[in-house]
Homo-oligomer: A and B are copies of this chain.
Amino acid sequence: MLAVFGHTNPDTDAISSALVYAHLLTRLGVPAQAYRLGDLNFETAFVLRELRMEAPPMLPALAAGTPVALVDHNESGQSAPNIAELTVTRVVDHHKLGDLTTSQPPFLRFEPVGCTGTILLKLHREAGLDVEALDAKLMLSAILSDTLHFRSPTTTQDDRDAVAFLAPVAGVTDVEAYALAMFAAKSDLGDTPAAQLLKMDYKVFPFGEPAQQWGVGVIETTNPAYVFGRKEELLRAMDEARAEDGLNGVLLSVVDILNETNRTFVLSATEEKVLREAFGVEATDGVADLGNRISRKKQIVPTLERYFAPEA
Contact = CB atoms under 8 A, between A and B. Distances in A.
Contact of A302 (B104, B109, B305): B104
A106 B112 contact: yes
Interface stretch (A92-100, A165-173, A212-220, A239-247): A92-100
Given A96-B106, A103-B302, 8 more contacts: A93-B105, A94-B105, A97-B101, A97-B108, A105-B110, A107-B112, A108-B109, A109-B109
Contact of A105 (B96, B100, B103, B107): B96
Q: Please list the 4 inter-chain residue pairs (A to B) with the smallest Cβ-Cβ separation, ordered nearest first.
A: A108-B110, A105-B112, A97-B102, A108-B108
A103 B312 contact: no
Nearest to A98: B101
Interface string A140-169: 000000000000000000000000000000
Nearest to A104: B96
A111 interface: yes
Interface string A283-312: 000000000000001000010010000001
Contact of A101 (B96, B104, B108, B122): B96
A103 B64 contact: no
A96 B126 CA distance: 23
Interface string A111-143: 111000000001000100000000000000000
A160 B97 CA distance: 31
A76 to B, nearest CB: 12
A211 to B, nearest CB: 12
A96 B106 CA distance: 6
A64 B306 CA distance: 14
B96 A103 contact: yes
A98 B108 CA distance: 13
A100 B97 CA distance: 7
Interface in A69-99: 85, 93-99
A305 B109 CA distance: 25
A104 B306 CA distance: 12
Contacts of A64: 312
Contacts of A104: 96, 112, 302
